[in-house]
Amino acid sequence: MARYSAFLGRRVEVQYRAGDILLPASGTFVADSGRSIFLEQNFEQRGQHKHFRWEIPYQCLVRIEEKPDAGVSANAATAPAKPEKAPEVPAASKSTAEPHSAAAAASAGGAPGILPLNHRPKTA
């Protein structure tokens, strides 16, 4: 049974896990296979029409929210939308432990995406 079918045809913003980092995606929710969700985005780049489609497996989903359409005013309140039978996916919690990678730290907003360099004196 499709868990997220309540979002069909709506603009959504999704946060999903790829390895140990969290990635955002936004677009129109076009399908729910029962194992994955599908987002679609159409845009124009350098004068050419582009079409992009994501398939995001259920186990990678962290958060899904309905976004207002581009025509709606910025003053409209946004609240997280959850379907009735959504799986309980733990949100990424902020811990005091060091992140496992610089990419994880950057995605969590803790540090810039630049890796620190260790300056060692040259030995002869």
Please give the domain boundaries of the chain with CATH numbers for all domains.
1-68+98-108 (2.30.30)
Q: Which two tokens stand for residue 71?
A: 């025509």
DSSP state of 94: P
Q: φ and ψ at 103, to 5 degrees? A: -65, -40
pLDDT of residue 1: 63
> Distance (Å, rounded) from C-alpha 53 to C-alpha 115?
31
Q: Are 111 and 120 in contact (CB under 8 A)?
A: no
pLDDT (tens digit per residue) in 48-76: 998 899 899 999 999 999 988 765 544 44
Q: φ and ψ at 105, to 5 degrees? A: -65, -40
Confidence band, pLDDT 50/70/90 cuts, at residue 94: very low
